[in-house]
A and B are shown apart, each in its own frame.
Chain A
Amino acid sequence: MVKEIERVGLPIVHICTIIPISLTVGANRIVPAIAIPHPLGDPSKTPEEEKLLRRRIVEKSLLALQTEITEQTVFND
């Protein structure tokens, strides 16, 4: 799905947990998520800590959208 959106020329970042599958599906900008049942959250943390974690992932995604890349890139910390 991510591939066809990029095919029309829109930069897209894929926040996902299962990186290898995202690579095969063809996403070019990938930001790792936390876990499958809660990709942008962590129930073991307090709500404030969780929101901070989430914010960091979204900020990384905005950075990824602005980064020129030449091949599939996983934006780790």
Chain B
Amino acid sequence: MRSVCVTNNPLWRDGYGETEAVRVMEEAAAADVFIAARDLVHKGWRFAGHPLYGNFSPTRHPYRTLVLIAPGEAGGLDMESLALLEQALEACRGDARDIAAGEMPARMKSDFAMLDRSLMEEIVKRYIGRGGSL
């Protein structure tokens, strides 16, 4: 499998539901998606896109969609991805008063899901391949 997409955004089931490379994590918080990506990066996987995509502080954006490229034969740790990962985890330690996804009005949460999907649509197409259209 060349690349994988890890996400907690249910909208990705539309068109990519059966795609093995797209892993939709049920009821997961954005931070859980970062942890899943961390374990892959520690095994040599590389980020295709910057994990802090979208001009939001991650503490306010309930969804995260991360695309990672499989390690080459040489394996070994990709330093750039590791640095990006550490920066992203650091940015996740937001202020305790930040709005939790649970408190968010439904329409807002669905807007975030839609925005998350549209921001990452192209990168998922390019690295995972064409799913169905939105």
- Chain A–chain B contact at Cβ < 8 A: yes
What size tier do the contact residues of chain B reach?
under 10
B residues 13-64 touching A (CB-CB < 8 Å): 39, 42-44
A residues 1-28 touching B (CB-CB < 8 Å): 17-18, 20
Q: Of B43, B44, B77, which one neighbours A18 at CB under 8 angstroms? A: B77
Chain A positions within 8 Å of B42 at CB level: 35-37
Chain B positions within 8 Å of A35 at CB level: 42-44, 77
Rounded to whole angstroms, the CA-CA distance of A36 and B77 in the bound complex is: 9
Chain B contact residues, majority secondary structure: loop
> Number of contacts between A and B (CB, 8 Å)?
13
What size tier do the contact residues of chain A reach?
under 10
Chain A positions within 8 Å of B44 at CB level: 35
Quote the shortest CB–CB distance from A33 to chain B (angstroms).
10
Chain B positions within 8 Å of A18 at CB level: 77, 79, 82
Quote the shortest CB–CB distance from A53 to chain B (angstroms).
14
Rounded to whole angstroms, the CA-CA distance of A18 and B76 in the bound complex is: 11
Residues on B lying within 8 angstroms of A by beta carbon are 39, 42-44, 77, 79, 82
13 sampled A-B residue pairs with Cβ under 8 A: A17-B77, A18-B77, A18-B79, A18-B82, A20-B79, A35-B42, A35-B43, A35-B44, A35-B77, A36-B42, A36-B77, A37-B39, A37-B42
